[in-house]
């Protein structure tokens, strides 16, 4: 139970940090570029940062294991593939 709460707190912390980072980008975009077009760009940056941060925090913290971002047909990921190539004995 403690481990579940720990993972949940990490995800919440990642989302809070991502929101603060996005808010800083939004504020900077609003102050530097003050036209209507720039407000749209700043809002788009805010939404984009929140979405990217949410996806990465879920991928990083899901199940406490690394998630294969590039799955292979056999179910392994690119990290497992790279490790198996390094660990394989040299051909004679």
Per-position pLDDT tens, the chain of length 92: 556 677 777 777 777 877 787 777 777 766 666 666 666 777 777 788 778 877 777 766 655 455 555 555 565 555 544 444 445 555 55
| Dist CA 17 CA 11 (whole Å) | 10
Cα distances from 41 to residues 7, 12, 38, 85, in angstroms, run: 33, 26, 5, 44
Q: pTM higher than 0.75, yes or no?
A: no
């Amino acid at each position: 139970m403690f481990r579940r709460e720990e993972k949940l707190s990490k995800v919440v912390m990642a989302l809070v940090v991502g929101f603060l980072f996005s808010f800083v980008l939004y504020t900077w975009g609003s102050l530097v570029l003050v036209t209507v077009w720039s407000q749209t760009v700043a809002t788009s940056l805010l939404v984009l940062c929140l979405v990217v941060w949410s996806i990465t925090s879920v991928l990083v913290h899901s199940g406490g294991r690394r998630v294969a971002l590039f799955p292979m047909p056999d179910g392994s990921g690119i990290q497992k593939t790279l490790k198996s190539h390094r660990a394989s004995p040299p051909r004679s």
